[in-house]
């Protein structure tokens, strides 16, 4: 099954929290304010705090409009959320407000923003996201040392500023805020009580605890299920993010599995062969890995995915 190539839209992909999520990618690959050790997309190639008009708003809105028409006519899959996410930090795109407002004029689905939350200390950034329905920021540290170790931020960012920005966002934004905490064994788990205090101060509607699903390119380890459950004692009224709630498009998953049954492929190989967005492929790879149908293989400096019994 081949999907029509869209420049900025990907999916819908199955999301643990959002059901079927139609993604909007507003940035060149790996443009981010952080370079997290657990990033599934690999190292940040452009570490910046500079907000620019990185995509054309009319172009993005035209794609959303055309997808909305296709869904209405039954030519494309329904989705639950339109999600601003993608290959880097969406807050680095200047003009998010125009995209959120424009999208809400053509679709009747909620608009979610997945963000690392690092730029909310700037008032103008907070103003641009006020019309979103849901903001899902992350917070993995409460001290400078852990922020450096886990998130490896741009040198002009401080964890105090990040937390302060999230506190301001909560006061000004009337939609839901779900704060995600990514726990990495031996890196930020001992700081959990301090992160929990910061989460309390922020006052998000939900606190969602996550851990690295599979070791990405870097040698980082997840917390065990028992350790994750133990974290519920540390974070009051938090939840451990459950597994996939939906399976997504079986056709796409079957296509990716079929390719990996023939030969091991890198993420880039799969993107080139299928014309799918890397983020979309990653979601399916994670589902296939969780089902133990495929595994990872490090070879010649590259990361490959393979079906073990091919």
Q: Is 13 in the site for ligand SF4 (CB under 6 A)?
A: no
Backbone angles phi, psi at 236, to 5 degrees: -75, 140
Backbone angles phi, psi at 49, to 5 degrees: -115, 5
Distance in Å, CB of 254 to ligand SF4, minimum: 28
* CA separation for the pair 80, 93 (Å, rounded): 23
Within 8 A by CB and 6+ apart from 183, the residues are: 140, 189, 192, 209, 210, 211, 222, 223, 228, 231
Nearest alpha carbon to residue 259 among 309, 305, 217, 290: 305
* CA separation for the pair 104, 121 (Å, rounded): 25
Considering the complex, state which of residue 15 and residue 249 has its C-beta at the smaller distance from ligand SF4.
Answer: 15
Among 20, 22, 25, 44, binds ligand SF4 (CB under 6 A): 44
Q: Is 34 in the site for ligand SF4 (CB under 6 A)?
A: yes
Considering the complex, state which of residue 89 and residue 280 has its C-beta at the smaller distance from ligand SF4.
Answer: 89
Considering the complex, state which of residue 35 and residue 131 has its C-beta at the smaller distance from ligand SF4.
Answer: 35
Q: Is 32 in the site for ligand SF4 (CB under 6 A)?
A: yes
Considering the complex, state which of residue 34 and residue 270 has its C-beta at the smaller distance from ligand SF4.
Answer: 34
**Per-position x/- string for 250-269, each x denoting binding to ligand SF4 as judged by CB under 6 A, each - no binding:** --------------------
Q: Is 35 in the site for ligand SF4 (CB under 6 A)?
A: yes
Interacting positions 116-145 with ligand SF4 (CB under 6 A): 116
* CA separation for the pair 241, 180 (Å, rounded): 9
Nearest alpha carbon to residue 95 among 60, 133, 121, 135: 60
Q: Given the rule CB under 6 A, which of 27-35, 50-58, 76-84, 237-245 is the region that contacts ligand SF4?
A: 27-35
Q: Which residues bind ligand SF4 (CB under 6 A)?
A: 32, 34-36, 39, 41, 44, 88-89, 116
């Amino acid at each position: 099954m081949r999907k029509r190539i869209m420049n900025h839209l990907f999916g819908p992909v199955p999301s643990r929290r959002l059901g079927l999520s139609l993604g909007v990618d507003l940035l060149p690959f790996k443009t981010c304010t952080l370079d997290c050790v657990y990033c599934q997309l690999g190292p940040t190639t452009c570490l910046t705090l500079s907000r620019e008009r990185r995509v054309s708003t009319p172009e993005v809105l035209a794609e959303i409009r055309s997808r909305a028409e296709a869904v209405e006519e039954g030519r494309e899959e329904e989705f639950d959320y339109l999600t601003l996410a993608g290959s880097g930090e969406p807050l680095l795109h200047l003009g998010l407000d125009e995209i959120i407002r424009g999208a809400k004029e053509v679709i009747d689905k909620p608009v979610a923003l997945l963000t690392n939350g690092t730029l909310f200390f700037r008032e103008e950034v907070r103003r641009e996201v006020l019309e979103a329905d849901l903001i899902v920021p992350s917070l993995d540290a409460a001290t400078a040392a852990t922020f450096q170790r886990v998130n490896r931020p741009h040198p002009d960012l401080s964890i105090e500023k990040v937390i302060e920005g999230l506190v301001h966002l909560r006061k000004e934004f009337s939609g839901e805020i779900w704060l995600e905490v990514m726990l990495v064994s031996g890196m930020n788990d001992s700081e959990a009580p301090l992160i929990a205090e910061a989460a309390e101060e922020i006052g998000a509607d939900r606190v969602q605890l996550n851990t690295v699903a599979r070791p990405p390119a870097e040698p980082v380890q997840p917390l065990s299920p028992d350790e994750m459950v133990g974290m519920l004692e540390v974070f009051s009224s938090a939840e451990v993010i459950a597994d996939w709630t939906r399976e997504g498009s079986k056709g796409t998953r079957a296509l990716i599995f079929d390719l990996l049954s023939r030969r091991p492929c890198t993420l880039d190989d799969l993107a080139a062969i299928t014309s799918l967005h890397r983020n979309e492929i990653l979601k399916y790879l994670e589902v296939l890995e969780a089902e133990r149908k495929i595994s990872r293989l490090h070879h010649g400096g590259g990361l490959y995915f393979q079906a073990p019994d091919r």
